[in-house]
Amino acid sequence: MRATMSTIAVLGTLDTKGHEHAYVADIIRARGHRVLLIDAGSGDTPQVTPDVTREQVAAAGGVDLAGIMARQDRGEAVAAMAKAAGAYLSSLVESGAVQGVISLGGGGGTAIGTAAMRALPVGFPKLMVSTLAAGNVAPYVGTKDIVMFPSIVDVSGINRISRVLLARAAGAICGMVETEVPAGADKPLIAASMFGNTTECVNAAKKILEDAGYEVLVFHATGTGGRIMESLIESGMFAGVLDVTTTEWADELVGGILGAGPARLDAAGKTATPAIVTPGCLDMVNFGERATVPAKFEGRTFYIHNPQVTLMRTNAVECAELGRILAEKVNAYRGPVTVLLPAKAISIISADGKPFHDAEADAALFTAIKTHLKPGIPLIEMDCAINATEFAAACAKALLGHLEQAPFQPEHQG
């Protein structure tokens, strides 16, 4: 527990949800913490008196609040205040003025609150009580650790349900700021991408890298995981990248549900971070339940991973394009990089005799990578499967070689 009281930012649209934010603020104060009540509204007069006015927030983001209010365009107002709230809250966090943030809202309030929270560093306590928390929260959370707390009922008054849930939310943010994070070993970090189908490879390589004095953070290649990994690599916090599982590009290209966006594989190149890249799990595209697979894919090869996940085998045409994309991404890397190809299987289920074995598709993938990869970039092709011990060791050895060539200097990255 923290020995001293903290200051918690309570941020929201106080013109429509002032009383609810004030209720949360009172509970936080009762726990012994200070509150900074911040108005991010743009409509009527605030229902309660804020510590930070909407004009102060708007000024931090260079927003002409008076002009926006005169135009009475709610969409414009929400977008502008979302940007401004992020700028204002970031300045508070950077100066150490606040140690946590909580916000309450419906559609507009959630857009403003989470935009402000996305501007804050990972690990900083942030909690959003929202009417949208039970749905698809990916657009609101982005690549940050925002806790989405379902409001159950609308954030509209203090009633027998909201009274309980808002009190619990206030307690949650207090608990977050009160908890001291135990100190850990300050080792250089390596980012690794993993899927269930590449777990053995990543775990074996991870052990070698850890024995060499590194800490390995593993990201699940589910779209969100890839985006988060790219974001953190770009921040300059990693000494190296063990990108074994580039499967998200299969979803991005073919139209699966786990794409990580067109910037996947870009961050290591931009930051000149030493890396290894393999075509792990580019044999599969992810969909939901079997009934959700688009009709245009009927006749393809499928594998039911579980009742909620259906995998589709990439074909030779798609694999050729994936190989070109992977090679061209790597061609842009400014730091040391090696591409490794496991000739016998790029996932557990693509090995000979397994459901996704397709020699033609694999050949198209490997040929495209070798054809488009720039001369001079090391490429290691091994006659084994991706989860073979020797392949994992080769990945770790190649990355360690690059790390020796380009020692980590965090002050020069970011």
| Mean pLDDT of the 399-414 span | 71
Question: What does the DSSP 8-state code read for residue 245?
Answer: B
Bigger pLDDT: 42 or 336? Answer: 336
Cα angle 149, 150, 153; round to 5: 140
Q: What is the CATH number of domain 189-412?
A: 3.40.50.12030
Per the CB < 8 A criterion, the answer to whether 179 and 156 are in contact is: no
Residue 80 and residue 58 in contact, taking contact as beta carbons nearer than 8 Å? yes
Whether residue 356 is predicted with pLDDT greater than 90 in this model: the reply is yes
The structure's pTM equals: 0.80
Q: For CATH 3.40.50.12020, list the domain ranges present in the chain.
A: 7-178
Task: State the pLDDT confidence band at 184, using cuts at 50, 70 and 90.
Answer: confident
Q: Please give the order of strands across the beta sheet that includes 100-105.
A: 34-39, 7-12, 100-105, 126-130, 147-150
Burial class (CB in 10 A: 0-12, 13-18, 19+), 292: exposed
Binned at pLDDT 50, 70 and 90, residue 64 comes out as confident
Mean pLDDT of 320-349: 97
Beta-carbon contacts of 183 under 8 Å, excluding residues fewer than 6 positions away, are: none
Q: What is the pLDDT, as a whole number, of residue 77?
A: 86
Between 239 and 43, residue with greater pLDDT: 239
CATH of segment(s) 7-178? 3.40.50.12020
pLDDT at 413: 40
Q: Quick check: 412 pLDDT over 60?
A: no
Q: How large is the average pLDDT for residues 312-332?
A: 98
**Mean confidence (pLDDT) of the chain:** 94
* C-alpha span between 342 and 202 (Å, rounded): 14
- Distances 161 to 24, 149, 383, 399 between C-alpha atoms, Å: 14, 14, 61, 54
Say if CB 373 and CB 331 are below 8 A apart.
yes
Mean pLDDT of 397-412: 79
Instruction: Grade residue 407 by pLDDT with cuts at 50, 70 and 90.
Output: low
The pLDDT tens digits for 119-159 are: 999 999 999 999 999 888 989 998 899 999 999 999 999 99
Residue 410 has pLDDT above 60, yes or no: no
Asked if pLDDT for residue 1 goes beyond 90, the answer is no
* Main-chain dihedrals φ then ψ at residue 245, nearest 5 degrees: -120, 90
Rounded Cα distance, 242 and 281, in Å:
14
Range(s) within the chain of domains with CATH label 3.40.50.12030: 189-412
Confidence band of 409 (pLDDT split at 50, 70, 90): low
Helix (H, G, I), strand (E, B) or coil at 262: coil
* pLDDT number for residue 414: 35
Model confidence band, residue 214 (pLDDT cutoffs 50, 70, 90): very high
Q: Is residue 2 pLDDT above 70, yes or no?
A: no
**Greatest pairwise CA separation for the chain in angstroms:** 70
Which percentage of the chain shows pLDDT scores above 90?
A: 86
pLDDT in tens, 266-282: 999 999 999 999 999 99
